[in-house]
Amino acid sequence: MKITINYDNVSENDLLIADWGFSCSIENNGRKILFDTGGNGRILLENLNNLNIDPRDYDDIFISHPDFDHIGGLSNILNLNQRAVIHNPVSFRGIKYANEVKYYNEPTQIYENIFTTGELGKREQSLAIRTDKGLVIIIGCGHPGIANIIRSLEEFGRIADSLTSFGKVYAIVGGLHGFSEFNVLENIEKVCPTHCTKYIDKIRQLYPGKFIKGGVGTVIEF
Q: Where on the chain is the footprint of Zn ion (CB under 5 A)?
A: 67, 69, 141, 196
Rounded to a whole number of angstroms, the minimum distance from the CB of residue 72 to Zn ion is 10
Rounded to a whole number of angstroms, the minimum distance from the CB of residue 160 to Zn ion is 28
Q: Which helix (H) or strand (E) holds 6?
A: strand 2-7
Rounded to a whole number of angstroms, the minimum distance from the CB of residue 104 to Zn ion is 17
User: Given the complex with Zn ion, which of 8 and 69 has the nearer CB atom?
Assistant: 69
Rounded to a whole number of angstroms, the minimum distance from the CB of residue 82 to Zn ion is 26
User: Given the complex with Zn ion, which of 72 and 134 has the nearer CB atom?
Assistant: 72
Rounded to a whole number of angstroms, the minimum distance from the CB of residue 215 to Zn ion is 15
- Got the DSSP string for 29-74? TTEEEEE---S-HHHHHHHHHHTT--GGG-SEEE-----HHHHTTH
How far apart are alpha carbons 2 and 93 in whole angstroms? 29
- Got the DSSP string for 116-168? E---BTTTB--EEEEETTEEEEEESS-TT-HHHHHHHHHHHHHH-GGGTT---
Counting every residue, how long is the chain?
222
User: Given the complex with Zn ion, which of 89 and 157 has the nearer CB atom?
Assistant: 89
User: Given the complex with Zn ion, which of 92 and 166 has the nearer CB atom?
Assistant: 92
The answer to whether 191 touches 207, Cβ cutoff 8 Å, is yes
User: Given the complex with Zn ion, which of 56 and 121 has the nearer CB atom?
Assistant: 121
Shortest Cβ contact with Zn ion: which residue? Answer: 141
